[in-house]
Amino acid sequence: MSNLDGAPLFYEVWGEPSIRRSPLLLLDGIGCDGYVWRYIREAFLDRRNVHGHYRGHGRTPVPDDFTHLSLADLADDNAAILNDAEVESAVLIGHSMGVQVALEFMRRHRARVRGLVLLCGAPSHPLRTFRGSASLEKVLPTAQTVVSRFPSIVNRVSKWVLPTRLAYEVAARTEIRRDAVDISAFMPYLEGVAQIDSRLFVSTLAAAAAHSADDMLSSIKVPTLIVAGGKDGFTPPARSHEMAAAIPGARLLELEHGSHTAPLEEPDVVNNAIADLLTAIDRPTWA
């Protein structure tokens, strides 16, 4: 299918359509094309699941230009995907940057949102608190300059280094829980990031870094579940606590030992919390 600009978008649908069970729209983090949904995908086959690939991610081609990579663009792309899939409204489940995309979707297409599940993300300016400092935000302009000057070199290095056991070992030592995330569950992420055009990656990262949905959190009226990893260095749990405090009636689940890949580390706990939310949405008892 094509988005509003006429550019092609890939999406997939699975699960059983049901008039009694709310569909799900799954929104990835930057560089991702579905790896984090491994267990969520298995748990909710009783309803329709829709999962699109962002521009230049996975099976969606790299766009001709990088001028339409804002979070609003990504939100509108997913609205177009729902249109094509003939899904009127859905529960949005966002991970990492997908939290921002979900919130921007809520801002722009409020009537189509039945509920929100916000996993390991922040509502605004995520690079300002990345691993406890704003260092990444400060070096991003330099990274953009380097990538714009030497894109082919950066792309070759990424494709050589990222999808390797060494990259997994670095991640296992610095962020993910080795004891809880099997290499087979995490390698698809590294392989996916390695295939992304470096210019598109830093442009999308800059869009996420500049984005804020803080202004609309207090206006959210749909049932909302927020999941935080207590050991998440990418989006520290304090960001989730702030978001939960700002969204009326939001429920917060913090996994004490969870990292940024908490949905892969403690899938039963996360899926049970999502199931409770979906039950409340499908049989309105949320309080």
Greater confidence, 246 or 162? 246
Confidence (pLDDT) at 2: 63
Specify the DSSP element, H or E, that contains 281.
helix 267-282
Average pLDDT over residues 144-170: 82
Nearest to 12 by CA among 78, 99, 100: 78
Question: Does 287 score more than 50 pLDDT?
Answer: no
**DSSP-assigned letters across all residues of 204-241:** HHHHHHH-B-GGGGGG--S-EEEEEETT-SSS-HHHHH
Region at 31 (left for phi over 0; alpha for psi -120 to 50; beta for the rest): left
Superfamily of domain 11-282: Alpha/Beta hydrolase fold, catalytic domain (3.40.50.1820)
Residues 6 or more apart in contact with residue 212 via CB below 8 angstroms: 123, 124, 125
Task: State the amino acid at position 126 in one-letter form.
Answer: P
Q: Which tens digit of pLDDT belongs to each residue from 180-190?
A: 888 888 888 88
